[in-house]
C-alpha cells in the first residue's frame, strides 16, 4: 500500500424498496417505514410458494431509463445504471474531471441476471430458438452491471465485479479502497446491484427455510435481533459510492461525505450457508478494518449490522462485534426496513453508515419489539438515536463464509 493516501466518499446513489434515491431512502428509514409488500406476480400463486412477500423497488428503473435502453438491460443492470448515474452526478463529475485511465468501476452482485436467464429459458422452451434474445449473455452475466457502468463512464483503470453472495457490494467498496491506496486509480465508482425477485430464487430460499413466511403482516416480517424473527425478506435495489483519493477530490473542490478509513475481509471456512457461531471469521474482518484504518476500538461508536433476521446469523454477528470492538457500540440493522438486497445490501448499508456519521443519527431497527436475550449489546429500537460518531463500522457477510467490514470516519 502507498502511505499517506486517504480515501474519501464524494458521491452517493441508490434505488431501494424505500426510495428512488439516497435522500428518499434515508428519510424513509429514519421515519420507520417498511419496504416489504405482498408480491403480485402470477408465479406466486401458480407454484403455491410459501413466501408471498418481498422488498420491491418503490421506483421501477423502467420509469427512469429510456425505453430502448431499459429493454437491452437486465433488471440488475438497470438498477446499477440508475444508482451510478446518481452517484456520478452527486460527486460533481463530468467529462473533464478525471483521466479515464485513472478511473475504475467495481459493482458487485450476488446472483446477477437471474430474471433474464429464466425468461429466456422459458422463451426457448415454448417458442424456440428464434425468440431468444441475442443480448441474453450480456444481460445475464454477473459482471453485466459493472460492465455497463464502466462503458458509460469510459473507465479504463479497471472494471471489476466481485461475486461473494451478500457481501458483494461491500467487497466492491473494499476493492475500491485497495485500488486507490495502491495508486492504481484516483477515482472508483463502487457498489452493489441485485434484482432477482422471481420464482426460482424465492422457491430455493423457501426450501432452505431461510425466508420469513409472515405473509399476513409484510411490514413486520423482517425483524433483526427480535425473538420473533423467522428469516429474511428478499429485496432488490442498488447502492453506489464514488470514492476518491483525498488530494484528488480536494484539488477539484469536491464535497466530501466522509472517509473510508479502513477495510477488512476474511473467510469463515466453516459452512456454505451458516456462519461460524463463535464469529471467528467475522471478528477478524472487523478487527482488520480498524487496524488498517488506525482506529482504536474504543473510538467506534456505531456498527451498522448485516443482521438479516435469521435465528442463527444475528446472534453470531453480535458475538463477533463484542470480540473485535467491545460492548460499547450502538447497533442498528437496516434490513428491518429494507429487507435483504443480497449483493446490493452491503453497498446500500454502507451509504446508511456514512449518512449516520454525517448527520449524527443512527436509524432504529424496525420491528425490534423483544430483543433476543442472547443479544447483549445496545441495539437502537423504537426511534432514531442522536449520537456524535468518531468512527463507525459496516458489516457484510455472505453464503460461503465471505466477511467484509468497512470502517468509516468523518470527513
Mind listing the domains of the chain with CATH numbers? 7-251 (3.40.47.10), 262-409 (3.40.47.10)
pLDDT confidence band for 211 (50 / 70 / 90): very high
Active-site residues, by number, are: 166, 306, 340
236: CB partners within 8 A, 6+ apart: 17, 54, 55, 56, 57, 75, 79, 194, 195, 196, 197, 341, 344
The alpha carbon of 185 is separated from its chain's Cα centroid by a whole number of angstroms, namely 23
Query: Residue 384 corresponds to which cell in the numbers above?
Result: 432514531
Instruction: Check residue 168 and give its pLDDT.
Output: 98
Percent of the chain with pLDDT over 70: 99
- How far apart are the C-alpha atoms of 16 and 39, rounded to whole Å? 16
- How far apart are the C-alpha atoms of 153 and 33, rounded to whole Å? 34
Range 162-171 average pLDDT? 98
20: CB partners within 8 A, 6+ apart: 57, 58, 59, 64, 82
If phi > 0 it is left, if psi is from -120 to 50 it is alpha, else beta; for residue 155 that is beta
204: CB partners within 8 A, 6+ apart: none
- How far apart are the C-alpha atoms of 108 and 171, rounded to whole Å? 7
Q: What confidence tens digit (pLDDT) does each residue in 7-42 have?
A: 999 999 999 999 999 999 999 999 999 999 999 999
Instruction: Check residue 2 and give its pLDDT.
Output: 45
DSSP state of 186: S
Range 72-76 average pLDDT? 98
Q: What confidence tens digit (pLDDT) does each residue in 247-289 have?
A: 999 999 999 999 999 999 999 999 999 999 999 999 999 999 9
Range 349-356 average pLDDT? 98
Query: Residue 185 corresponds to which cell in the numbers above?
Result: 486509480
Instruction: Check residue 258 and give its pLDDT.
Output: 98
Instruction: Check residue 3 and give its pLDDT.
Output: 65
Q: What confidence tens digit (pLDDT) does each residue in 106-147 have?
A: 999 999 999 999 999 999 999 999 999 999 999 999 999 999
Specify the DSSP element, H or E, that contains 137. Answer: helix 136-140
CA distance to 127, 177, 183, 306, 333, per residue, from 350 (Å)? 43, 13, 23, 10, 12
- The three-state secondary structure class of 10 is strand
In sequence order, what DSSP letters do the residues of 203-219 get, joined into one string?
HHHHHTT-B---TT-GG
DSSP state of 275: P
pLDDT confidence band for 85 (50 / 70 / 90): very high
Range 304-326 average pLDDT? 97
* Residue 241 · residue 12 · CB < 8 Å: yes
- What mean pLDDT, rounded, does the chain reach? 97
Query: Residue 70 corresponds to which cell in the numbers above?
Result: 431499459
pLDDT confidence band for 95 (50 / 70 / 90): confident
- How far apart are the C-alpha atoms of 100 and 333, rounded to whole Å? 37
Specify the DSSP element, H or E, that contains 351. Answer: helix 345-359
Residue 82 scores a pLDDT above 90: yes
DSSP state of 349: H
* Residue 398 · residue 162 · CB < 8 Å: no
Residue 1 scores a pLDDT above 60: no
Q: What confidence tens digit (pLDDT) does each residue in 301-314 have?
A: 999 999 999 999 99
- The three-state secondary structure class of 337 is helix
Amino acid at each position: 500500500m502507498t502511505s499517506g493516501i486517504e480515501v474519501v466518499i464524494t458521491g452517493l446513489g441508490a434505488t431501494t424498496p424505500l426510495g428512488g434515491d439516497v435522500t428518499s431512502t434515508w428519510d424513509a428509514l429514519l421515519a420507520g417505514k417498511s419496504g416489504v409488500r405482498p408480491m403480485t406476480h402470477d408465479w406466486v400463486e401458480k407454484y403455491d410458494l410459501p413466501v408471498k412477500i418481498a422488498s420491491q423497488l418503490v421506483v421501477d428503473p423502467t420509469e427512469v431509463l429510456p425505453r430502448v435502453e431499459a429493454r437491452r438491460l437486465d433488471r440488475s443492470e438497470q438498477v446499477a445504471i440508475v444508482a451510478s448515474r446518481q452517484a456520478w452526478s452527486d460527486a460533481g463529475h463530468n467529462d473533464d474531471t478525471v483521466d479515464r485511465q485513472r478511473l475504475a468501476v467495481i459493482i458487485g452482485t450476488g446472483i446477477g441476471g437471474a430474471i433474464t436467464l429464466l425468461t429466456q429459458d422459458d422463451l426457448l422452451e415454448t417458442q424456440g430458438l428464434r425468440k431468444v434474445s441475442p443480448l441474453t449473455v450480456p444481460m445475464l452475466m454477473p459482471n453485466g452491471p459493472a460492465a455497463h457502468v464502466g462503458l458509460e463512464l469510459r473507465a479504463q483503470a479497471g472494471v471489476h465485479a466481485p461475486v461473494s453472495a451478500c457481501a458483494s457490494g461491500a467487497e466492491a467498496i473494499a476493492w475500491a479502497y485497495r485500488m486507490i491506496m495502491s495508486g492504481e486509480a484516483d477515482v472508483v465508482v463502487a457498489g452493489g446491484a441485485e434484482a432477482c425477485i422471481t420464482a426460482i430464487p424465492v422457491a430455493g430460499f423457501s426450501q432452505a427455510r431461510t425466508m420469513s413466511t409472515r405473509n399476513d403482516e409484510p411490514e413486520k416480517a423482517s425483524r433483526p435481533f427480535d425473538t420473533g424473527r423467522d428469516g429474511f425478506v428478499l429485496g432488490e435495489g442498488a447502492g453506489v459510492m464514488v470514492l476518491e483519493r483525498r488530494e484528488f477530490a480536494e484539488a477539484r473542490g469536491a464535497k466530501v461525505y466522509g472517509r473510508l478509513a479502513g477495510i477488512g475481509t476474511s473467510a469463515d471456512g466453516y459452512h456454505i450457508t451458516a456462519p461460524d457461531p463463535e464469529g471467528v471469521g467475522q471478528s477478524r474482518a472487523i478487527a482488520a478494518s480498524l487496524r488498517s484504518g488506525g482506529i482504536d476500538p474504543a473510538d467506534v461508536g456505531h456498527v451498522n449490522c448485516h443482521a438479516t433476521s435469521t435465528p442463527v446469523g444475528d446472534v453470531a454477528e453480535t458475538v463477533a462485534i463484542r470480540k473485535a470492538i467491545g460492548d460499547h457500540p450502538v447497533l442498528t440493522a437496516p434490513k428491518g426496513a429494507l429487507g435483504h438486497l443480497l449483493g446490493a445490501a452491503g453497498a446500500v448499508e454502507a451509504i446508511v453508515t456514512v449518512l449516520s456519521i454525517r448527520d449524527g443519527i443512527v436509524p432504529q431497527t424496525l420491528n425490534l419489539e423483544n430483543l433476543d436475550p442472547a443479544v447483549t449489546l445496545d441495539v437502537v429500537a423504537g426511534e432514531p438515536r442522536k449520537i456524535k460518531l468518531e468512527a463507525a463500522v459496516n458489516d457484510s457477510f455472505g453464503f460461503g463464509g465471505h466477511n467484509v467490514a468497512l470502517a468509516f470516519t468523518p470527513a
